[in-house]
Amino acid sequence: MTEKRSMLAAVYHGPQDLRVERIPVPQIGPDELLLQVKSASICGTDLRIFHGGHRMFPAGTVRVPGHEVVGVISSLGSEVDGLAIGQTVFIAPNMGCGHCQQCISGNNNRCASYQALGVTIDGGFAEYMRVPAAAIKGGNVMPIKSETVDPAVAALIEPFACVLRGQDVLNIRPGETVLVIGAGPIGIMHAKLAQLRGAGKVLVSETNPERAAQALTLGADRVINPALEDLSAVITEESGGMGVDVIIVAAPAHAAQEAALQYAAIGGRINFFGGLPKDRSSINFDSNLVHYKELLVTATTACSTSDCRRSAQIISTGKVDLSSLISRRFPLTAALPAFAAAEDRKSLKVVLEP
């Protein structure tokens, strides 16, 4: 393939200022590769970036976002082995330093000096993306069978890896009752994974009627709209008065985090999966509920490259089908309408296909 000198990209210039423009095709070093992007999905993190609310995008940052990326290797540095031009690959976005305690224990998302494609360096909302040596050496480049897996679905390896990490700490046992609060794409993935883990019943709480309806066809056993129904009463009914064993709060809502402590069964486990707004991150935490019910209250953030490996395995073998989460596809030239669609709460996953 002859390399173009310039390429189309959606570039962040400041809050609400995302511009589709031509920028130079990235140059690669001998230990790097150039990816021709096939599919890059828009996630909540990208919306936070777009609105200027991401801590890695301080004033003055000009950068290409996009961290859920699948593409084809279009050129390869001379020192890279084990990969080939033309291969379809998913790129795990997080790169740790490789030698700190967190990195060597397989938690490179916790590394104090981490880099991430689409977050600290240019990502995949572009025709081409440079994949640095740290990502190649760190095992972030994961070949995908493009004949059997839609690249748009393969791009969901990253968010699904975050969901996997979130449920690892909850240890859902077959037969247990699970409540997922929030039926956005992440909430739906949590419901699907809880079913795969053998949950006896998966309840989903969602106030948006369209999302609530989708959740019922996408993995929930029962969907409750707390604006119309008494969620606490439904939980009592569905759990025989015991409360739910596992609660995942997949909505950035103070009230939902506080209520989770009430809804949990004795010995229940809770994951505060969604972060709260950075300027208002405190909640009323009833410590006695945690004490007397012996609750485990925890949280997870992002995902490691190791989580992405397992996620890639699950998605490429079809153990979990995420194709119904892809609501809309846009060309890169329509990045702005794509961001608007990602925000309208009607769509689940919105994908850019350069």
Q: Return residues touching Zn ion (CB under 5 A).
A: 43, 45, 96-97, 100, 103, 111, 159
> C-beta of 100: minimal distance to Zn ion in Å?
3
Which residues lie below 8 Å from residue 178, measured CB to CB, with a gap of 6+?
172, 191, 194, 199, 201, 202, 203, 244, 245, 246, 247, 248
Rg of the chain, C-alpha, whole Å = 20
Nearer to Zn ion, 109 or 257 (CB): 109
Nearer to Zn ion, 43 or 295 (CB): 43
> C-beta of 43: minimal distance to Zn ion in Å?
3
Which residues lie below 8 Å from residue 268, measured CB to CB, with a gap of 6+?
243, 244, 245, 246, 247, 293, 295, 296
Nearer to Zn ion, 34 or 111 (CB): 111
> C-beta of 112: minimal distance to Zn ion in Å?
7
> C-beta of 45: minimal distance to Zn ion in Å?
5
Nearer to Zn ion, 25 or 103 (CB): 103
Nearer to Zn ion, 163 or 246 (CB): 163
> C-beta of 143: minimal distance to Zn ion in Å?
21
Nearer to Zn ion, 100 or 253 (CB): 100
> C-beta of 230: minimal distance to Zn ion in Å?
33
Give yes or no for a contact between 303 and 67, defined as CB atoms under 8 angstroms apart.
Answer: no
